[in-house]
């Protein structure tokens, strides 16, 4: 069968049957098209172990990161599984091993540095109140930056929880701490616009407004603006490390685990599909191992 027709059928299957996002469809199309073009695949019989090996070698020689290489292979394996489901004889996906990826190293801030960062926005102007609310919300909820930007302002703040649709269209509940709720309330009370978005972009002259006029709201805030403000307050707090919004998600997870939360609960709160993704945090939060080291290491030394 024509491989391009099979590819389109598969991508439609991902979008309709598996309810994957348009972005996921686009990514899988790009990964698979790269393989099909490289190996000059015309039909399913051309997908051989040798063709896959040559493609993987090409990826490695182009110095593509191991993580990115794995995306290509995951997409190819998924495509082959789909074809097998349709009773089309193809190379077994089990014969294609995923690249061995080094364990991710998660960088987290010392707690005193985290507190300085969260307290860095000062003042009662709209920009400072917004920025304070953004930082507290990121740490309180563990939201991804795209999820934060997608929040709407009309929610039951007293209830302190909302449903968020994350990666893979997966729905989960996130919770606001008392500090986050207070920061959001102070910020929203200052807003005088009708914009639906929770967090908005503000005109650049907001620090120099005259006649007590509010800064101009120019629509929903974008991820790049959130990255910039986190970087700004990191430097303002005197933290030498580079801190990103996603790192505050890491802080959220490690804070829960250090506090005694179980891994499954943290998985649910982060919206991870696979618990192995959540396990990257355990090596820095294993309190028992720390106690063992403290109790038994170096006891013979004076």
pLDDT tens digits in sequence order for the chain, 302 residues long: 899 999 999 999 999 998 888 888 999 999 999 999 999 999 999 999 999 999 999 999 998 888 889 999 999 999 999 999 999 999 999 999 887 766 666 778 888 999 999 999 999 999 999 999 999 999 999 999 999 999 999 888 888 999 998 887 788 999 999 999 999 999 999 998 999 999 999 988 644 444 456 788 999 999 999 999 999 999 999 998 889 999 999 999 999 988 888 889 999 999 988 888 888 887 766 655 666 667 776 666 55
Within this chain, do residues 174 and 28 fall inside the same structural domain, yes or no? Answer: no
> H helices of the chain, where?
3-16, 22-38, 49-61, 66-85, 111-118, 126-141, 145-149, 178-190, 223-236, 245-258, 263-270, 275-278, 287-296
* Domain-located, residue 41: yes
Residue 238 covered by a domain: yes
CATH number at residue 163: 1.10.443.10
Same domain, 178 and 62: no
Domain check: are 33 and 117 in the same one? no
Domain assignment present for residue 221? The answer is yes
- Is residue 293 assigned to a domain? no
Rounded to two decimals, what is the model's pTM? 0.70
Give pLDDT, residue 290: 65
CATH (domain of 38): 1.10.150.130
Residue range of the domain that includes 49: 3-95
Question: What DSSP string describes 31-93?
Answer: HHHHHHHHTT--BGGG--HHHHHHHHHHHHHTT--HHHHHHHHHHHHHHHHHHHHTT-----G
Q: What is the pLDDT of residue 31?
A: 96
- Same structural domain, 205 and 148: yes
> Structurally, how many domains does the chain consist of?
2
In a domain, 103, yes or no: no
- Catalytic machinery residues: 144, 167, 246, 249, 272, 281
Q: Which pLDDT value is given to residue 100?
A: 76
**SS3 state at 137:** helix
Give the per-residue pLDDT at 206: 45
């Amino acid at each position: 069968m024509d491989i391009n027709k099979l590819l389109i059928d598969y991508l439609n299957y991902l979008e309709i049957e598996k309810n994957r996002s348009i972005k996921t469809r686009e990514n899988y199309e790009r990964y698979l098209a790269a393989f099909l073009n490289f190996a000059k695949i015309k039909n399913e019989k051309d997908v051989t172990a040798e063709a896959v090996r040559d493609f993987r070698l090409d990826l490695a020689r182009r110095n593509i990161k191991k993580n990115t290489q794995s995306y290509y292979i995951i997409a190819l394996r998924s495509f082959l599984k789909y074809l097998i489901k349709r009773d089309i004889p193809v190379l077994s996906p089990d014969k294609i091993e995923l690249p061995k990826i080094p364990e991710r190293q998660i960088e987290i801030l010392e707690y005193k540095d985290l507190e300085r960062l969260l307290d860095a926005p000062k003042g009662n102007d709209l920009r400072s109140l917004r920025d304070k609310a953004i930082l507290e919300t990121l740490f309180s909820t563990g939201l991804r930056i795209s999820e934060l930007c997608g929040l709407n302002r009309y929610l039951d703040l007293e209830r302190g929880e909302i449903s968020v649709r994350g990666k893979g269209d997966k729905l989960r509940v996130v919770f606001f701490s008392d500090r986050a709720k207070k920061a959001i309330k102070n910020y929203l009370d200052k807003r005088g616009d009708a914009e639906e978005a929770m967090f908005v972009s503000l005109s650049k002259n907001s620090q120099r407004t005259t006649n007590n006029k509010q800064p101009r709201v120019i629509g929903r805030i974008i991820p790049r603006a959130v990255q910039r403000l986190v970087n700004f307050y990191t430097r303002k707090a005197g933290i030498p490390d580079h801190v990103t919004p996603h790192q505050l998600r890491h802080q959220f997870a490690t804070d829960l685990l250090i506090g005694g939360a179980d891994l499954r609960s943290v998985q649910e709160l982060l919206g991870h599909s696979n618990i192995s993704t959540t396990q990257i945090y355990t090596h820095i939060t294993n309190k028992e191992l720390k106690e063992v080291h403290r109790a038994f290491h170096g006891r013979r030394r004076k």
